[in-house]
Amino acid sequence: MTLSLAPMQGFSDQIYRSTLCHIGGVDVFYAPYIKVEGGEIKVKSLADIAPEINNGMTVVPQVLANKADDMLLVAHAVGKLGYTELNWNLGCPFPMVAKRQLGAGLLPYPEKIDSLLNDFEAQSDIALSVKMRLGYLSPDEIWPVLDVLNRHNIKEVIIHPRIGKQMYNGEADKRIMPEIVAKSAHPVAYNGDILTAEQARLLLDKNPTINNLMIGRGLLRNPFLANEIKGETLNISQKRSRFSDFTVEIAGRQLNRLQGAGHFLQKMTTYWEYWSQMFNDQHKVLKMVKKCHSVDEYFSVTEMITNNYPLSDLA
């Protein structure tokens, strides 16, 4: 069983990935998407996946594109860095992306996906995997897209069983997975609403041919989730200590990277929107973090929280 970290813009950067790697449990780390603008790749995107700062991790770069030229540009760039696989984002649901026929917004156009793959495969030998939703407007959009993918050399199809218009609302439709597995010519991985080890086990019991679970928000909420899925258990004292080390390391490294206390506090608050769920009174915990006005206050308050506040059932 492979457990993968989902690519999450604003969260799963190199600092987060490498710190999570120290905890263990995660086998593959998918990096946030690389986007081409004006025929050029953002330097920051490539800096995040530089091999010298991603040692000890299996990292897969991701591309957000709807043109073969852009895909090829990214494939060439990551290939020069030594990567042999590229993941294509057909799942991003955000309107500013989707309305440009990028991410999930490209799913209603299987003929464009087919054309792009024809051009890409003719000019690149890098392995390509696909992360996709069931559709953008309708879950029925998956079937013609799956037919297209079946005609191409795809390493793996990672399914998040929501439509783009749902964003992250409602439940992921796990019930559709057996039909997708049966109709796919390629290995299928699962992504979406894996928040506990029990949910992971139930999904795998019902879909025994799935051997890759990609987890995003579940690992943001609980950095020990991959370990728990693999059968590791920690007592409360161990969890507190390791959770404290984890959050302090990320904060320290972000502090060195970011400019100014305001930027740092804003960044760390976004993480605590998830980390607060490790505690019983998550709303109170998050409110305390949001009220921090200095770096020193942030470290003092979060140390008090991690050492004293009751852990939730999630933890």
Q: What is the pLDDT of residues 93-111, one digit of tens each?
A: 999 999 999 999 999 999 9
- What residues does each domain of the chain span? 2-229, 236-308
Residue with tokens 């992971």: 200
Class of domain 2-229: alpha beta
- Is 27 exposed, middle or buried (CB count within 10 Å of its CB: 0-12, 13-18, 19+)? middle
Which pLDDT score, from 0 to 100, does residue 234 have?
A: 86
Please report, for residues 34, 84, 150, 169, 193, the alpha-carbon distance to residue 42 in angstroms, rounded to integers and kept in the order given.
Answer: 7, 20, 32, 31, 31
Which pLDDT score, from 0 to 100, does residue 313 have?
A: 73
Q: What is the mean pLDDT of residues 10-24?
A: 97
pLDDT band at 314 (very low <50, low <70, confident <90, very high): low
Q: Is the pLDDT of residue 315 over 70?
A: no
Q: What is the pLDDT of residues 147-203, one digit of tens each?
A: 999 999 999 999 999 999 999 999 999 999 999 999 999 999 999 999 999 999 999
- Give pTM, 2 decimals: 0.96
Q: What percent of the chain has pLDDT over 90?
A: 94
The half-sphere exposure of 173 on its side-chain side, counting CA atoms within 13 A, is 17
Q: What is the pLDDT of residues 37-75, one digit of tens each?
A: 989 998 888 999 999 999 999 999 999 999 999 999 999
Q: Which residues contact 55 (CB under 8 A, 6 or more apart)?
A: none
